[in-house]
Amino acid sequence: MVWLKQIRRKQTNSRFPQIFIISIGFLLILIGKADVTAVRYMQGGVVEAVAPLYSLLTVPVNSMETLFEGVQTVASLRTEAKRLELENERLRKWQTVAETLEVENRQLRTVLGAVIPQEWNAVTARVIVVPGGNFTHSMIVEHGAENKILRGSAVVTAEGLVGYVISSGKYYSRILLLSDVNARIPVILSDSSWPGLAVGKNGLTLELDFLPAESQPSPNETIVTSGHGGLLPAGIPVGRVTSITKEQVLVTPIVELRKLSFVTILSRKFVPEFLPEPELSDTLYSPLTEQKKERLFEGLNIREILQ
């Protein structure tokens, strides 16, 4: 009996560190989920320290990709040439259309008195780290607080919205892609102007939530940012409606997220009064306080909504 007890005690002793480490792991999961500020700072610190070394390591990967692309290009050179000829012809037609529309647009602006928004700064940044796993869709770009890039700044390319900045160090920033499960982008349907929320699903498509029941999105309809909340500028293309069922409306992002090399980060020149300074406050995403009487996006203020 004594030897049996000893064996049991030995087993218990050897299992304790394992259980302890696994418990620590689960504790970290909870801390990470709670989005503790200290963890964010730690992440920022590690990124600042390791990112320069990482930049060096991307060189061989880029070379490998270029090599493979080169081999593919040579193989399909003739088909490519024909395709390019056709595309060139099509683009010339589009150029003529675009020039005509540009003139028309300018004339309409003068008629309507619309002003091109001047309050946004644009910084072009190189993408360093892109998501390697399907559980988190975020990336790291060059430039941080030193270039006045703040948390919440919109990230775009020439095609449309990529995501927004979730943390910004001195020289590097982390961007949450719009395909991430945590991304919520206020949008409107471009044809009918019904508002909705584009929600990431950690996949190739986004889901359009909170659409009013009477809205009828059509296939291939473009959705653009609504500007609601004041964080993102209005009118940036987000995606196209690709699937409409009773349960859900799916949207494919306009930007090809797999091929991002450079992005443009838009940040406000002046932070409006209703939007707290992101770096100074952690209450960026909290509801507006009642005593502030600024107008909200639908022309109502909080007091009117509550009434």
Interface residue list for other proteins (CB under 8 A): 18, 21-22, 24-33, 39, 42-43, 46-47, 50-51, 53-54, 57-58, 60-62, 64-65, 127, 129-138, 140, 174, 181, 201-204, 257-259
Bridge pairing between strands 195-200 and 237-244: unpaired
Measure Cα distances from 174 to 63, 217, 252, 263 in Å: 25, 33, 23, 12
Closest CA to 203 of 246, 235, 250, 166: 250
Least CB distance to other proteins at residue 294 (A): 33
Least CB distance to other proteins at residue 70 (A): 14
Least CB distance to other proteins at residue 288 (A): 27
Q: Which is nearer to other proteins, 45 or 235 (CB)?
A: 45
Answer yes or no: are the C-beta atoms of 239 and 251 closer than 8 Å.
Answer: yes
Q: Which is nearer to other proteins, 5 or 259 (CB)?
A: 259
Least CB distance to other proteins at residue 265 (A): 17
Q: Which is nearer to other proteins, 28 or 300 (CB)?
A: 28
Q: Which is nearer to other proteins, 250 or 288 (CB)?
A: 250
Q: Which is nearer to other proteins, 136 or 215 (CB)?
A: 136
Q: Which is nearer to other proteins, 66 or 105 (CB)?
A: 66
**Hey, is 296 helix, strand or coil?**
coil
How is the chain split among helix, strand and coil, in percent rounded to 5? Answer: 40, 25, 40
Q: Read off the DSSP letter of residue 68.
A: H
Least CB distance to other proteins at residue 218 (A): 25
Closest CA to 164 of 156, 172, 83: 156
Q: Which is nearer to other proteins, 203 or 272 (CB)?
A: 203
Where are the strands (E) in 184-276, listed by range? 184-189, 195-200, 206-209, 222-225, 237-244, 249-253, 262-268
Supply 210's token pair: 């909170």
Least CB distance to other proteins at residue 51 (A): 8
Least CB distance to other proteins at residue 219 (A): 21
Closest CA to 147 of 123, 127, 118, 176: 123
Please give the Cα distance from 68 to 74 (Å, whole number): 10
Burial group, residue 305, by CB count within 10 angstroms (0-12, 13-18, 19+):
exposed
